[in-house]
């Protein structure tokens, strides 16, 4: 249980929600079975439950072994092409390195805010087509968390070489 405290919030939510969705499907399937005696619905909801537990267990193991990558930085651009199911998000890290990420349109990011994106480690298939590359790697995106609006870390010294300090002007 102490290990769960070390998980990033976004990844912990993904593990828990995946398991809860499966449990909810099983509960609804069982209630419908009691009401209508439909065994097929019960079996199908049991399969959804089993596969969601398998997926959440796999996510838990990957996260506990830290088999994920993070991309952290400030969102500097979001672009979308018509009839596509993804955005191209441009992120700049603290060192000034720019990265482009293709994420689903359900990912809501704002320009000027800092984010941390989580991806599974592993082989990514690349066929050279941006649309197919995005479709083939869609399972690698685990989640993201907003770190707040971008603010300058430190003030730059002015021309005289001293930082602006309102208290020094008063004395």
Distances (CA, A) of 104 to 80, 96, 125, 150: 10, 25, 18, 23
Q: Is residue 80 part of a domain?
A: yes
Residue 164 belongs to some domain of the structure: no
pTM: 0.67
Query: What pLDDT, in 10s, does the model give residues 49-71?
Result: 999 999 999 888 888 888 888 88
- Provide CB contacts within 8 A for 163, sequence distance 6+: 155, 157
DSSP, res 95 = T
Instruction: Give the pLDDT score at 170.
Output: 45
Q: Is residue 165 part of a domain?
A: no
As for how many domains the chain has, the answer is: 2
Q: Measured between alpha carbons, how far is 132 from 50 in angstroms, rounded to an integer?
A: 29
Asked if 54 and 91 sit in the same domain, the reply is no
Positions in the chain whose pLDDT score sits under 50 = 154-160, 162-171
Per the DSSP assignment, residues forming a β-bridge with 149 are: 113
102, 114: one domain: yes
Owning domain of residue 13: 2-64
168 occurs within a structural domain:
no
């Amino acid at each position: 249980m102490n290990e769960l405290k070390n998980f990033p919030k976004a990844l912990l939510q993904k593990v828990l929600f995946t398991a809860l969705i499966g449990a909810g499907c099983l509960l609804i399937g069982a209630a419908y079975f009691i009401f209508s005696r439909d065994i097929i619905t019960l079996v199908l909801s049991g399969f959804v439950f089993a596969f969601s537990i398998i997926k959440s267990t796999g996510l838990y193991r990957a996260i506990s072994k830290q088999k994920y990558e993070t991309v952290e930085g400030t969102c500097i651009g979001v672009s979308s092409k018509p009839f596509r199911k993804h955005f191209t998000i441009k992120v700049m890290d603290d060192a000034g390195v720019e990265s482009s990420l293709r994420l689903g349109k359900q990912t809501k990011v704002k320009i000027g805010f800092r984010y941390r994106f989580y991806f599974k480690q592993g082989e990514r298939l690349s066929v050279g087509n941006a649309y197919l590359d995005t479709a083939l790697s869609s399972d690698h995106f685990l989640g993201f968390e907003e770190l707040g609006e971008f603010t300058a870390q430190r003030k730059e010294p002015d021309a005289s070489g001293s930082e602006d300090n309102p208290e020094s002007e008063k004395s």
